[in-house]
């Protein structure tokens, strides 16, 4: 089996539409790619953001 290609998303702030977009996109691609998300938490970031991100198996990097 071939090694999965890797995708790294770099997101300044995980809030609002950006958060929803990244979560939806990553949910679609996680079975085909190794997913990594680098992000910063802001006041607009949902309190349950970790549940949404870890749900689909991405590796996360945050401040």
Confidence bin at 1 (pLDDT 50/70/90):
low
CA distances in angstroms from 59 to 2, 35, 52, 54, listed in the order given: 20, 6, 12, 8
Ramachandran sector of residue 27 (left: φ over 0; alpha: ψ -120 to 50; beta: rest): alpha
Residue 24 domain boundaries: 5-62
What domain count does the chain have?
A: 1
- More confident call, 26 vs 59: 26
What's the pLDDT tens digit per position in 2-57?
888 998 888 887 777 888 888 888 888 888 888 888 888 888 888 887 777 765 66
Return the SS3 of 61. Answer: strand
pLDDT for the residue 5: 93
- 52's CB contacts (< 8 A; 6+ apart) are 19, 23, 46
């Amino acid at each position: 089996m071939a090694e999965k290609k890797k995708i790294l998303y770099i997101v300044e702030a995980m809030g609002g539409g950006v958060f929803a977009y990244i979560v939806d996109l990553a949910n679609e691609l996680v079975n085909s790619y190794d997913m990594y998300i680098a992000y910063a938490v802001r006041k607009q970031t949902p309190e349950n953001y970790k549940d949404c991100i870890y749900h689909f198996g991405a590796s996360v990097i945050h401040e």
